[in-house]
Homo-oligomer: A and B are copies of this chain.
């Protein structure tokens, strides 16, 4: 092939220029799927630059999926069409609710509309503010910032989080109860040690799959629990033998169910009976569009049974890698005595920037602005879904960044997931990606006999996230989704 690369001296770093040239050539179709690209050696010699510069550019292209490496043969342009709907059994990494949407890597012509519930709109990332606060911290912070900080997170950040939790969520806690960490996965790993070995966690049988896998890999036995219209069934939780319940009471993922007060009390009673805990993952509570804000269970945790997990992934961006947990006092004491040996996983620079971001009111203003924008998208989706054929209902709306479309008639566990996949594949072929709820079955619930016994007949349902789409995309995507629902006839049992 002919690859025309004109490097600009004094411009961006050379590897960035090479990366950009090749990426654009692939995007525009100048380089076609399967086409061989030059070896790092020959390109370096052709451009008369260091081979490591070319290697870095290729590494970036590899990691972003533009090219692939075939042993003994070299580098080839990857098949980008593989980026639309991947059927059931997709990559584990994809099950995170805090993956941000990248610009669609289309082949140029076709539109890709991805209703990912794990996306946020990165357009809202407070880029210039973040850069300004970082510069200011780098200028004023001096040496202290590059020394080691507190194991639980630096006190100013914890104090700021405590104040913010009180104001925005009605949670009274002391900075001593807060542990800051680089992401929920890390905090769950740490928590699994803090709670002691031999724990069993109950999770709703459709839930946040990544958390179930993190807990499992952290040595916690994870058992599926039935869910009804009010959230986790406490009866089923008891039957599971779990001593930890993982719930998202403000807006369950994926069903969007808000757990009413009565069920919350039931859960708290269950926890109070023995050495049991509730992990409350309050992952998207910033976004509520109608009705009163829903306080977290932690706000009424007088007995010290609730471990509250909070994140800035949705309200700021996934990649800032800052989450926190609020521990009941006695667990915070155990942490202080025995677990401070785990040094903080968040750099003091990031902590300082975040402290300023929250403390100086930027977060609140940004959340208010973003909430308005998401509300417009949410309302647009609801409006577009009015045209659904009869027999479908919308659940879990009015909060968060996704809702679900559910068939009103049950179809049984096997048939439900088959139908979900059929519709998702049809939509995928037309450039629209919707998410079968059965993708959110936690691993230990994928046992059909359990599902049949505990849950009985299941209703096919699809998760639609809207955060990263604009109104036009939402409308066009919904139209295609509706046509696919009609095209693939629902099987009644």
Interface positions of A (Cβ within 8 A of B): 12-13, 15-16, 52, 55-56, 59-60, 62-64, 92-93, 95-96, 98-103, 122-123, 125, 127, 130-131, 134-136, 138-140, 143-151, 154-156, 159-160, 163, 175, 181-183, 185-186, 189-190, 193, 197, 210, 213-214, 217-219, 317-321, 338-350, 355-356, 359-360
Please list 16 pairs of residues, one from A and one from B, whose beta carbons are closer than 8 Å in the complex, sorted by A's number. Answer: A13-B356, A56-B160, A96-B148, A99-B147, A103-B143, A123-B143, A134-B138, A146-B320, A148-B319, A182-B346, A185-B341, A189-B342, A193-B218, A213-B341, A214-B342, A319-B349
Once bound together, how far apart are the Cα atoms of A99 and B320, in whole Å?
A: 23
Tell me how many chains of this kind the complex includes: 2
Closest to A123 in B: B143
How far apart are A365's CB and chain B's nearest CB, in angstroms? 15
With a cutoff of 8 Å between Cβ atoms, the chain B residues found around residue A175 in the complex are 59
**Is the CB–CB distance between A143 and B130 below 8 Å?**
no
A56-B156, A159-B56, A317-B146 are known contacts. Are A347 and B350 too (CB-CB below 8 A)? yes
Name A360's closest neighbour in chain B (CB-CB): B13
Q: What is the CB-to-nearest-CB distance from A121 to chain B, in angstroms, rounded to a whole number?
A: 10
Chain B residues within 8 Å of A150, by CB: 63
Kindly list chain B residues whose C-beta atoms are within 8 Å of the C-beta of A64: 144
The answer to whether B163 and A52 touch across the interface, beta carbons within 8 angstroms, is: yes
- Interchain CB contact (< 8 A) of A345 among B148, B160, B345: B345
Pair A320/B345 contact, Cβ less than 8 Å: no
> Given A103-B143, A148-B99, is A319 in contact with B348 using a C-beta cutoff of 8 Å?
yes
With a cutoff of 8 Å between Cβ atoms, the chain B residues found around residue A149 in the complex are 319
Check if B190 sits within 8 Å of A219, measured CB to CB: no
How far is B335's CA from A240's CA once the two chains are assembled, in angstroms? 29
Kindly list 11 other residue pairs between chains A and B, CB separation below 8 angstroms, not including A55-B159, A92-B341, A193-B219.
A15-B359, A56-B359, A60-B155, A62-B155, A63-B150, A93-B148, A93-B341, A186-B345, A189-B189, A217-B338, A319-B348
